[in-house]
Amino acid sequence: MEVIGVRVEMPSNQPIVLLKEIDGSRFLPIWVGAVEATAIAFAQQGVQPPRPLTHDLAITIIEDLDATLTAVHVTHIDQGVFYANLIIRDGAGATRTISARPSDAISLAIRSAANILASSELLDEIGIEIPAETAPGEENQEVERFREFLEQINPEDFAG
């Protein structure tokens, strides 16, 4: 999956991060908190704060322990709440799976260039298919599709 962007859904003023299949046309909207949305946006934009944010600190700890965040996996949704796992490989090659909020997992993945995965079942259940536009030379097509998508949905669409 790739992170398309973070926006605020109106009129509820709720931040949302939109993931897209790399080789597909399905999108996965995940509602996140304002702080988490900011952390994701900062990571996408390469913003370096004067002091490490929590996600920067977590990546430093992982690296200093001779481990690597190899992937994050958005696994499922239960009663409108998304779940994710961090997949971490330690220096000895052992893999550990740690439960995390998707917003934190995505923020960590962007900072460490780890893969972002979503289960097929989750995409089948709540993925939104937005066919690619065919107009040549059109800039920011995905951003425009994201805006159109946001105008049509609300958080209650994904409640259990």
| pLDDT tens digits for range 54-97 | 999 999 999 999 999 999 999 999 998 999 999 999 999 999 99
- Sketch the domain layout of the chain as residue ranges: 2-158
pLDDT score at 11: 74
More confident residue, 108 or 120: 108
pLDDT for position 134: 46
Of 19 and 153, the one with more pLDDT? 19
Taking the C-alpha atoms of 10, 15, 16 and 17 in order, what is their torsion angle to the nearest 10 degrees?
140
pLDDT of residue 130: 77
CATH number for the region 2-158 comes to 3.10.690.10
Place of tokens 């259940």: 125
The whole-model pTM stands at 0.80
Of the candidates 29, 27, 30, 31, the residue with the CA atom closest to the CA atom of residue 14: 31
The DSSP code for 23 is T
Bigger pLDDT: 143 vs 45: 45
Query: Facing residues of 30 across strands?
Result: 17
DSSP 66: T
The more confident residue out of 122 and 131 is: 122
Mapping DSSP to helix (H, G, I), strand (E, B) and coil, where does residue 34 land?
A: helix
C-beta of residue 154 within 8 angstroms of C-beta of residue 23:
no
Tell me how far apart the alpha carbons of residues 105 and 72 are, in angstroms, rounded to a whole number: 6
pLDDT at 5 exceeding the cut of 50: yes
Mean residue pLDDT across the chain = 85
Model confidence pLDDT, tens digit, residues 12-34? 788 999 999 998 889 999 999 88
- The torsion defined by the Cα of 30, 34, 35 and 37, in degrees rounded to 10, comes to 40
Tell me what pLDDT residue 148 has.
Answer: 63
Contacts of residue 13, defined as CB under 8 A and 6 or more positions apart, other chains included, come to: none
